[in-house]
Amino acid sequence: MEFIPYGRQWLDQDDEQAVLDTLRSDFLTQGPRIAAFEQALCDYTGARYCVAVASGTAALHLAVAALELPTDSEGITTPNTFTASSNSMAYCGIKPAFADIDPVSYNISPLEIEAKLTSATRLIIPVHFAGQPAEMEQISAIASRHDLKVIEDAAHAIGSCYRDGGKVGNCRYSDATIFSFHPVKTLTTGEGGAVMTNDEALYHKMLLLRTHGITKDTALLTQNPGPWYYEMHALGWHYRMTDLQAALGLSQLKKLDAFKRRRREIVTHYNQAFRDLPWLTPPAEANGLDSCFHLYVVKIDFAALGRTRAEVMQQLAAQGVGSQVHYIPVHTQPWYKQHFGYGEGDCPVAEAYYEMALSLPLFAALTERDQARVINAVRELA
């Protein structure tokens, strides 16, 4: 019996051919396909600028670093996310603070953001959890009132739309938006990520930091003895994407809308199949949003079911159905306890959500037969 993972990529012959063509070209990296992929992402989202990078984590780090915030600053993000969201602040000497989540969307709560503001707050990183956009209209208004920077962590949300119909990534509500292209995401470049922005100065700063802080731009050089010459103007990193990755991304981006439709069809199918289970709560999409679901996260009353989460995951796995937990609240991680004094009880809504959360298989290549297997395996838990 073939095992169904909670997420995986969908690659076809077009994707394979795009990578093969690049392998046969003059450039495996630092070539024309990177710029083409960046322009395609701008065209799709409506943002002015794009910086393609090696991973979603690199995108977050690059965006925070390029803001050049004081090292005694604080930033606010959600505990219901992967550690990279808050780690990107810590990398830059910024203290991460955690605002609790909304109990329905599982996204960061604007009211909780306001409650966490201090005189040191300079940055908000909302996360579009599972592909559902956070309340960016409210978050943007908070940022404007308090002169804060905003970076949207849209690692889950390429293809999603705000209530105004604009695509996540257009940066209407933020200084920058990041994407991740890991294989379990809606589209993949193998590994990879991107930062979108409408701020030209921020864009050029990120370009510099992406490549070791080194420039060959003659307009920026302090001297120019010859064509070999370059200068390091900042302490940057090797965060470049390769042409192989960009070629795959270009091919995948053409299928993004089809991937989105398929994911939403599966979510609808699951929701209908699970609506009568009293011990299971399907995900809810807020009114007016058009989410490209990255994850299908249910809440299970394990006590009512009479099984622990580990036992449920083991029973599903025995039926060939994978599952995962998204996420262990970041503020409860040992490193954050040790360095910032956070711990259990700091974000009670996120902690209560975590105790019940389970992600079931959701990806565009999931067949109707596999969906039926997932549904049957879940219903047989009772």
Report the catalytic residues.
185
Helices (H), the chain: 13-23, 32-45, 56-67, 84-91, 110-116, 136-146, 200-210, 243-253, 256-274, 302-305, 309-318, 334-340, 348-356, 368-379
Burial status of residue 336 (CB atoms within 10 A of its CB: 0-12, 13-18, 19 or more)? buried
Strand order in the sheet with 193-197: 49-53, 193-197, 176-180, 149-153, 121-125, 74-77, 95-98
Q: For residues 162 and 231, what is the distance between their CA atoms, to the nearest angstrom?
A: 41
- In whole angstroms, what is the distance from residue 21 CA to residue 215 CA? 29
Cα-Cα-Cα-Cα torsion 361, 366, 368, 369, nearest 10 degrees, comes to -80
